């Protein structure tokens, strides 16, 4: 049996804290290059149009235009598909799409030149939303779909015949902007035929692969170095592949270093967002109030280019049955192309949309069945050995009952639920139950990522971790050091972990999908165990460890059948609110969270993830309103797009339960995205119960609540 080392969870001081607190951490904007030039992007002002001509002003000496003509090989960004150009070709497809760069020494002169550029367009008929996407001439392929997926389990048609009651409702979620502390920033140098790119990025090898293809260079002629990164949340996953190409093209043309840093308004308006969604949920119930079938139709607005949209869609689809045991399932998922800012990676990666619809529907159905929501949920909980929505197996211990008991003690959920309903006091409380699968879905880790890690021991008996995974605020610099130090039995300050440089580190995969601790951390623990066995004090040594897919798991990617994830992390959230009867403003009275992350590698870091993830999720559910009108974002500045602060919500009460995973380092599972998933829907459920009205969309703003109260 797995033996827990309790010491691993004991918090230590973060290795990146001192420099950040003192203001000494060097971000890309702090870097100093000799003869540095700056770049600014010329962007489309049309949602969809042909570019007829571009009129540039006369450029002073030392100033350059960089556009599609300066790309040596392929004007397509390598992400999952190749539909997004580095620079627009003959047509622009969203407001803010890059057309060219203006590069030079003086930022003011660049802005003046940019203001004088005239782009002559011929307007084309745009598509602005999912509804228009279904009947207008397509802008992508023949059906305007980036992806159209289906999967099933059991016999949904027979379930319809046997169902005692059938409940259907549609749900909707909006955009969300990352608002990381540091905006997008990247720089490049070109020397001796080699491009070196420095940036605020999550995935160094993503950028490298994209730039190698665009330049047509050999791999050893492209180097990616991650600089200190001030937050990302998925927003610096695929997007720096685009900007990395931009600065590479510019540095080669100018033969000087080039830096491209977005201002905040540009970052908000032009970078990727969380995908808006429309989800139709049909739930089939038997006479014993058991769920015998779920039939879902999920639609995502992908924006102008596919990017990671098809992968986000898959995550949303795999959340179809949530933490409930449902024998018959049918799910269709579609991602539509629109002439709007592209959707991209964002914490939770489709799961928040899927769980919002499911958990809201559970509450709605419970109410129709005259049950309390918790009664209905407990009646249908999944257990160890049950089948997932895709026909995989829940192999690890499923702790949902433990989570419920713990959060009941913390929040007094059931007592308050009954009290508020009987008193009709405009107070409400909501509970969400959820999971998050760790790592890439299906066989992604085995067939696509194929992670490699290295440990290098030096003569002074210090050990360096060589991986491509990055610190972006989540604690990687500390937690991975702890894993290696604990396994070898050396002081943690004898372990070295620097920001990755692709000339020095192997490809251990991207810093996404809550995989860094569970997947990469386990590889490092295995490498450390091997190093310990052959340790030669005072000698240089190196250990390489390759990912091996755990035995016993099955996945058919063509059918979405089998184990979508090898292991799950679990959570329960409760939010308590009071609604103002005149303004419909919402006051949050309490926020509670209980999480199973296996074993916490550092409890203080996990508590930080909980506070940050739940606060960000509460923002998505409440005040982070972002709309598009005629293809342009309405809320495109920090003034217009409001995010929550510590003053907007009470202190979060949280707890961690221990449920170790054998294939995780010291029993650890995934954590970073889990902490976001349940908060938006718990908030919406609390408001629903305060008002006694169905809530079908987030964010739940006062304006939306006025519509709800007037329409029902």
One domain for residues 305 and 219: no
Residue 536 placed within a domain: yes
Tens digits of residue pLDDT in 152-199: 999 999 999 999 999 999 999 999 999 999 999 999 999 999 999 999
One domain for residues 414 and 294: yes
Residue 130 placed within a domain: no
Residue 606 placed within a domain: yes
**Domain end among 227, 261, 295:** 261
Q: What is the CATH number of the domain that holds 114?
A: 3.90.1170.50
**Residue with tokens 């103002």, as numbered in its chain:** 580
Q: What is the CATH number of the domain that holds 361?
A: 3.30.365.10
Q: Is the pTM of this model over 0.95?
A: yes
The confidence band for 712, taking pLDDT boundaries of 50, 70 and 90, is low
Residue 659 placed within a domain: yes
Q: Report the pLDDT value the prediction gives residue 711, as an integer from 0 to 100.
A: 83
Residue 407 placed within a domain: yes
Which residue intervals of 466-581 are DSSP H helices?
Answer: 476-488, 522-533
CB 668 within 8 A of CB 661: yes
Residue 551 placed within a domain: no
Tens digits of residue pLDDT in 6-58: 589 999 999 999 999 999 999 999 999 999 999 999 999 999 999 999 999 99
Residue 588 placed within a domain: yes
Cα angle vertex 445, ends 439, 449, to 5°?
A: 115
Q: Report the pLDDT value the prediction gives residue 6, as an integer from 0 to 100.
A: 53
Sign of the alpha-carbon torsion through 661, 664, 666, 672: negative
Euclidean distance between CA atoms 313 and 330, whole angstroms = 15
One domain for residues 421 and 475: no
One domain for residues 592 and 676: yes
One domain for residues 464 and 601: no
One domain for residues 119 and 250: yes
Q: Which domain holds residue 378?
A: 277-441+560-711
Tens digits of residue pLDDT in 243-299: 999 999 999 999 999 999 999 999 999 999 999 999 999 999 999 999 999 999 999
Strand ranges for 105-184 from DSSP E: 118-123, 145-153, 165-173
**Domain end among 498, 517, 546:** 546
Q: Quick check: 315 pLDDT over 80?
A: yes
Tens digits of residue pLDDT in 128-158: 999 999 999 999 999 999 999 999 999 999 9
CB atoms within 10 A of CB 266: 17
The confidence band for 1, taking pLDDT boundaries of 50, 70 and 90, is very low
**Domain end among 516, 546, 576:** 546
Nearest to 67 by CA among 56, 83, 78, 81: 56
One domain for residues 537 and 578: no
What's the mean per-residue pLDDT of the chain?
A: 97
Q: Quick check: 3 pLDDT over 60?
A: no
- Kindly state the tokens that stand for 535: 């340790």
Domain count across the chain: 3
Tens digits of residue pLDDT in 390-422: 999 999 999 999 999 999 999 999 999 999 999
Euclidean distance between CA atoms 203 and 448, whole angstroms = 14
Tens digits of residue pLDDT in 527-566: 999 999 999 999 999 999 999 999 999 999 999 999 999 9
CB 257 within 8 A of CB 35: yes
Q: Residue 618: left if φ>0, alpha if ψ -120 to 50, beta else—which one?
A: alpha
The confidence band for 424, taking pLDDT boundaries of 50, 70 and 90, is confident
Nearest to 481 by CA among 455, 502, 460: 455
One domain for residues 526 and 653: no
502 to 185, 256, 389: CA distances (angstroms):
18, 21, 38
Q: Residue 613: left if φ>0, alpha if ψ -120 to 50, beta else—which one?
A: alpha
One domain for residues 284 and 369: yes
Helix (H) / strand (E) containing 419: helix 413-423
Euclidean distance between CA atoms 430 and 550, whole angstroms = 37
Tens digits of residue pLDDT in 628-638: 999 999 999 99
One domain for residues 202 and 339: no
Could you give the 3-state DSSP secondary structure of residue 496? Answer: strand
Tens digits of residue pLDDT in 74-94: 999 999 989 999 999 999 999
CB 518 within 8 A of CB 445: no
CB atoms within 10 A of CB 548: 11
One domain for residues 253 and 352: no
Share of the chain above pLDDT 90, in %: 98
**Residue with tokens 């989570």, as numbered in its chain:** 403
Helix (H) / strand (E) containing 406: helix 400-411
One domain for residues 89 and 204: yes
Residue 171 placed within a domain: no
């Amino acid at each position: 049996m797995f033996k827990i080392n309790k010491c691993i969870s004991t918090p230590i001081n973060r290795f990146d804290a001192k420099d950040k607190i003192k203001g000494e951490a060097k971000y890309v904007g702090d870097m100093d290059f000799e003869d540095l030039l700056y770049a600014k992007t010329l962007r489309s002002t049309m949602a969809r149009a042909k570019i007829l001509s571009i009129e540039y002003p006369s450029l002073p000496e030392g100033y350059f235009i960089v556009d599609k003509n300066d790309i040596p090989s392929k004007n397509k960004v390598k992400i999952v598909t190749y539909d997004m150009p580095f620079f627009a070709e003959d047509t622009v497809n969203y407001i803010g799409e890059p057309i060219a760069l203006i590069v030079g020494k003086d930022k003011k002169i660049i802005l003046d030149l940019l203001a004088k550029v005239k782009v002559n367009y011929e307007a084309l008929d745009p598509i602005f939303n999912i509804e228009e996407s279904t009947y207008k001439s397509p802008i992508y392929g023949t059906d305007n779909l980036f992806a159209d997926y289906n999967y099933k389990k059991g016999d949904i048609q027979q379930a319809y015949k046997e169902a005692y009651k059938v409940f259907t409702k549609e749900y909707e979620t909006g955009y969300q902007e990352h608002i990381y502390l540091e905006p997008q920033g990247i720089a490049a140098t070109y020397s001796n035929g080699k491009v070196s790119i420095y940036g605020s990025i999550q995935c160094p090898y993503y950028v490298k692969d994209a730039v190698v293809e665009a330049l047509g260079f050999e791999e050893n002629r492209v180097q990616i170095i991650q600089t200190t990164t001030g937050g990302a949340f998925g927003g610096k996953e695929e997007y720096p592949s685009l900007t990395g190409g931009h600065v590479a093209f510019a540095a080669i043309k100018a033969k000087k270093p080039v830096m491209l840093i977005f201002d905040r308004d540009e970052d908000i308006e032009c970078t990727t967002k969380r995908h808006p969604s429309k989800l139709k949920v049909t739930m089939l119930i038997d006479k014993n109030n058991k769920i015998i079938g779920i039939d879902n139709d999920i639609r995502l607005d992908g924006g102008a280019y596919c990017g990671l949209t098809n992968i986000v869609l898959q995550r949303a689809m795999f959340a179809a049955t949530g933490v409930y045991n449902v024998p018959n399932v049918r799910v269709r998922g579609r991602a539509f192309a629109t002439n709007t800012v592209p959707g991209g990676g964002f914490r939770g990666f489709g799961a928040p949309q899927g769980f919002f619809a499911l958990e809201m529907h559970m509450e709605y159905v419970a109410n129709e069945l005259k049950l309390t929501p918790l009664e209905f949920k407990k009646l249908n909980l999944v257990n160890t050995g049950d089948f997932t929505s895709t026909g995989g197996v829940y192999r690890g211990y499923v702790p949902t009952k433990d989570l419920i008991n713990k959060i009941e003690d913390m929040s007094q959920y059931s007592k308050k639920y009954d009290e508020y309903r009987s008193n009709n006091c405009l107070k409400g409380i909501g509970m969400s139950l959820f999971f998050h699968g760790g790592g890439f879905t299906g066989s992604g880790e085995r067939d696509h990522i194929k992670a490699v890690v290295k440990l290098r021991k030096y003569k002074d008996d210090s050990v360096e971790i060589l991986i491509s995974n990055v610190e972006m605020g989540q604690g990687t610099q500390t937690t991975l050091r702890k894993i290696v130090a604990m396994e070898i039995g050396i002081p943690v300050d004898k372990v070295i972990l620097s920001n990755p440089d692709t000339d020095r580190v192997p490809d251990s995969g991207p810093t996404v999908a809550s995989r860094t601790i569970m997947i990469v951390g386990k590889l490092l623990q295995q490498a450390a165990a091997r190093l310990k066995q052959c340790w030669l004090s005072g000698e240089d040594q190196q250990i390489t460890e390759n990912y091996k897919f755990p035995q016993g798991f099955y996945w058919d990617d063509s059918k979405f059948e089998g184990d979508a994830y090898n292991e799950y992390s679990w959570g329960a959230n409760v939010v308590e609110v009071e609604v103002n009867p005149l303004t419909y403003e919402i006051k949050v009275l309490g926020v509670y969270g209980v999480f199973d992350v296996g074993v916490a590698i550092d409890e203080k870091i996990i508590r930080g993830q909980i506070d940050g993830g739940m606060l960000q999720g509460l923002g998505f559910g409440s005040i982070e309103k972002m709309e598009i009108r005629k293809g342009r974002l309405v809320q495109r500045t920090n003034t217009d797009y409001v995010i929550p602060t510590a003053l907007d919500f009470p202190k979060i009460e949280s707890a961690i339960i221990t449920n170790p995973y054998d294939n995780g380092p010291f029993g650890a599972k995934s954590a970073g995205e889990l902490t976001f998933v349940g908060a938006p829907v718990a908030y919406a459920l609390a408001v629903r119960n305060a008002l006694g009205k169905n809530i079908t969309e987030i964010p739940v703003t006062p304006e939306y609540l006025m519509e709800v109260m007037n329409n029902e």
